[in-house]
Every structure is written in structure tokens, then in C-alpha cells.
Structure 1
Amino acid sequence: MKVGLIYTSTTPELIELVEREVREQLGADVELYSLQDPSILADVREAGYVTTAPAARLIGMYMQAAQAGVDAMLNLCSSVGEVADSAQDVARYIGVPIVRVDEEMCREAVRRGSRIGVMATLPTTLEPTKNTVLRVAREAGKKVELVDCLVDGAFGLDQDQFKARLTESAKGIVDQVDVVVLAQGSMAYAEPHLEATYGKPFLGSPRFGAAELKKALERKGVL
């Protein structure tokens, strides 16, 4: 079994976390086929939204993974999650599911509460994640209230500084929400610390994405 991991920006910590979660779900012998193109996120950040060129490069990465023989793939950037949504018809046709790392996390947040905090270090991740939460809430027939938490200046910090900045920023929203989603996969390692500090559920996406990847492979019949 071979799965694709599609990154637009990454750190060693994120790669380690994602690969660990995927192997826990699929077994140690799963073959991982990773593709990375940091220029995609750089272009999205510069423009403030997903423009044609980075979207096309991302779709090209999906097709490269499919041609390499992956059984399914995991899209690991929430800033471009809506590109993954747009590719779902092709994914079904060619028989290679594209799983968004963050969608089931957003569904779990909707299940857990009606006041949902959305934490991100980039505006380009905040808005797509909010859109996803609102979409899955609508699909569930539930009305939710979203509370933004943009953690300015945290992107690119080392792990300790990053966690400290998240903890400080979360202080401003925890009393207003039932649950908090961590919009970027790179934030997930802070999840246990934030929950212990504030006594509220904080949801990181990689564990949810890996579980959904397993379900997609089961539906396909390769597991």
C-alpha cells in the first residue's frame, strides 16, 4: 500500500508528526510518497488568497502522486484545502481519493460545541478553515458561532517560542468558546499543552486526517 503526502510548507516536526500518525493508522510497512512545494504557500501568502498558478501547481502534485501509483493521498495544507475540494470529481474518476487533513477535525469541532474558536498563524489559513467549519456545520444542520484567533508573528518561530505564542494568544478566546481548532497541522504538537493549560478541547488536524485517510483506503478496498 502506498499513500501520498502533499505538503505546501513543512517543518521537520510536522513531517515527523504526520508520518507517525499515518503509520499508526496504516501500519509501519505503508509506503509514504511525499511531495513538497513551499512556493505554493508563499504565493498564496503574498496574494492573500489562492490564485491560479499555485492552485495549478498543487493539482499537478496530485496528478504526480497519482501517476506514481499512490492508493490515496493526504492534502496537508489548510490554506489550499478548497483546491482539494475542487479536485474531488477527478479523484473519484481516477480512483485515487484526496483526503483533506482538516475536514474531519472541523466536523469534530461542530460535534463538540456551537461556539468554535479558530486559531491560525496565517490569515490565508484562517479564512479557509472558517469556511470549512461553516460548511460542515451547515451539512450537520447546526448553527455555530466562530471566534477568530490570528496568532500574529508565530509562523516560523522555533518550537518553544511557537508554543508560548499560541498559549498566550489562546488566553484571549478560551472563555468565549466550547472548542478550538488549530487550523494548521504544524500547530498540532501544542494540542496537549493547550488542553492542560485551559481545560478546553483543542483539536489538531494530523490525527484526524490520518484516520480519514484510513477510511478512504477501506472504502477503496485496499485495507
Structure 2
Amino acid sequence: MAAVGLIHSTRLVIPAVHEAVAKANPELEIINVLDEGLLKLLREQAFQRIVPRMTLLAEGLEENGAELIIVTCSSLSPYVDRVRENVKTPVIKIDEPMIQWAVANHDRIGVVMTNPTTQIPTSSLIDAVCRRLSKEVEVEYRLCGEAFERLNRGDVEGHDAAVVEAVEALIEEVEVVLLAQISIARVISKIDPKIRGRVFCSLDFIGKELPQ
């Protein structure tokens, strides 16, 4: 049985990613590893410790037979390229397939996020994809810090309402809106059905990357 390894930095996203992968390919063995200390290193700006730590996780997944490794945290995307140099197994960034699709097919893209550590990695990845495709796009970013604060206080409904409000305002200015974090993907079901078809998260694109 083919296996895929998932590296998580928060337990909040494990059910959503696991379910999306299992739905896309029910025959896959899914190996989840969680290291919440990675986000702590980001907050402390201990950047030199992140790649070695991620490499250890990737090596463990490789030893356990993973044919593909997915890093599910957008904030860790800048470190994936260096992790790739240390393992033989392909390692992908969770949001790269989504961004690749958006840049290839649209000229005006909106990005909504709640975690402040996400904007720079997402912006850098979009720039890299644009260079790879030799294409320029207009990107509008919305950092929904209020939603992040509400979630940290345990106000899930308030968090979701703030994200929905940001998405519905931004969609008026762009062709599509991308949700930059898996932790906010669930709000898609709460968005006005009239515009829901123009709002995407990385889980919508993960299936095509999986081993068959």
C-alpha cells in the first residue's frame, strides 16, 4: 500500500487534511506527525532550528515508507526547499498546487489569512510561482487579525464570522479568493452560495498530488 506522510504544526488541521487525503485516495496509508514546537520557533524567530527539526520529521516519515511528504503549515513553506535537499522523498508545500492553479488561470487574486506569520511565506510563494510561469498577477491580501484573536479566546463562531466577512468583501475586488490556512478552510461552507464557487483552499487541490 502506498503511503503519504503529513507534517503538521498544529493539531487543529489534522482532521481536515486527513479526511481530504483519504477522500482523494482511500487506498493510501496516511502517516500523521505533529510538532507544535515548530510554531513556537517561528514566534521566537529561532529560524535556524526549524530546518533541522523538519528534516528529522521528514526522515522519520521516509523510514516509515512515505512516498510523498506534505507540509501542511503555510507558515513553514519557506523552509520546505531546504528540507527537500536532505531527503530523497518528494516534499511539497500544502498551498503550492492551489497557488499554481490560481496564478495560471487568473489575473486578480485575493488571499485571506488570520495568522500574521502566514503573509510573508504566502507572498513569497506567489512571487516564485509567477516567476516560474513568467506571468504577473495582481494580489490583494487581507490579514484578518481580529479573527485570529477571537479564535485564541475560544470564540470559534466569532472567528468564522470575521473570516466570512473578509472573504465576501474581498471577492468584490478580485476574480478568486484563496484561503491561505487550512485552519480557516471550514468557513467555505458558511460563505454565500452565490460566490462560494470562487473561494478555494489548499485541500481542494491536494488530490492530484497524491500517489496513485
| Partner of residue 202 from structure 1, selected from 182, 185, 199 | 199
Give the secondary-structure state (helix, strand or coil) at the position aligned to 1:180: strand
1:89 counterpart residue number? 85
Contact map agreement 2:109 2:174 (CA 8 A) in 1: yes
| Partner of residue 31 from structure 2, selected from 33, 39, 42 | 33
2:108 counterpart residue number? 115
Contact map agreement 2:51 2:83 (CA 8 A) in 1: no
Q: Give, in whole Å, the separation in 1 of the partners of 2:36 and 2:24.
A: 26
Query: Which amino acid is the alignment partner of residue 42 of structure 2?
Result: V
2:8 counterpart residue number? 7
1:129 counterpart residue number? 122
Distance 1:200-1:206 versus aligned 2 partners, 3 A rule? closer
Q: Give, in whole Å, the separation in 2 of the partners of 1:188 and 1:35.
A: 20
Contact map agreement 2:182 2:201 (CA 8 A) in 1: yes
Q: Deviations over 1:82-137 (max 9, x none)?
A: 2112222334xx2x111211001001211332111111111211111111112112
Contact map agreement 1:109 1:203 (CA 8 A) in 2: no
- Alpha-carbon offset, residue 141 of structure 1: 1.9
Farther-moved stretch of structure 1 (140-149 vs 171-180): 171-180
| Partner of residue 190 from structure 1, selected from 187, 192, 198 | 187
1:22 pairs with 2:17: no
Contact map agreement 2:168 2:191 (CA 8 A) in 1: no
Q: Give, in whole Å, the separation in 2 of the partners of 1:211 and 1:74.
A: 13
Q: Give, in whole Å, the separation in 2 of the partners of 1:195 and 1:86.
A: 40
Contact map agreement 1:195 1:201 (CA 8 A) in 2: no
- Alpha-carbon offset, residue 26 of structure 1: 1.9
Distance 1:53-1:147 versus aligned 2 partners, 3 A rule? same
Structure 2 unaligned blocks of 5 or more: none
1:106 pairs with 2:99: yes
Give the secondary-structure state (helix, strand or coil) at the position aligned to 1:62: helix
| Partner of residue 54 from structure 1, selected from 50, 53, 71 | 50
Contact map agreement 1:82 1:128 (CA 8 A) in 2: yes
Q: Deviations over 1:187-219 (max 9, x none)?
A: 11222433626466111012323431x1xx3xx
How many corresponding residue pairs? 207
Distance 1:137-1:40 versus aligned 2 partners, 3 A rule? same
Contact map agreement 1:181 1:204 (CA 8 A) in 2: yes
Q: Give, in whole Å, the separation in 2 of the partners of 1:200 and 1:30.
A: 28
Structure 1 unaligned blocks of 5 or more: 218-222
Contact map agreement 2:50 2:79 (CA 8 A) in 1: no
Q: Deviations over 1:138-184 (max 9, x none)?
A: 22221111111001032335543322110122244222211111111
After superposition, the CA RMSD in angstroms is 2.0
1:74 pairs with 2:75: no
Q: Deviations over 1:54-107 (max 9, x none)?
A: 33211211111112222221110110112112222334xx2x111211001001
- Alpha-carbon offset, residue 43 of structure 1: 2.2
Distance 1:123-1:197 versus aligned 2 partners, 3 A rule? farther
- Alpha-carbon offset, residue 5 of structure 1: 0.9
Relative to the length of structure 2, the TM-score reads 0.87
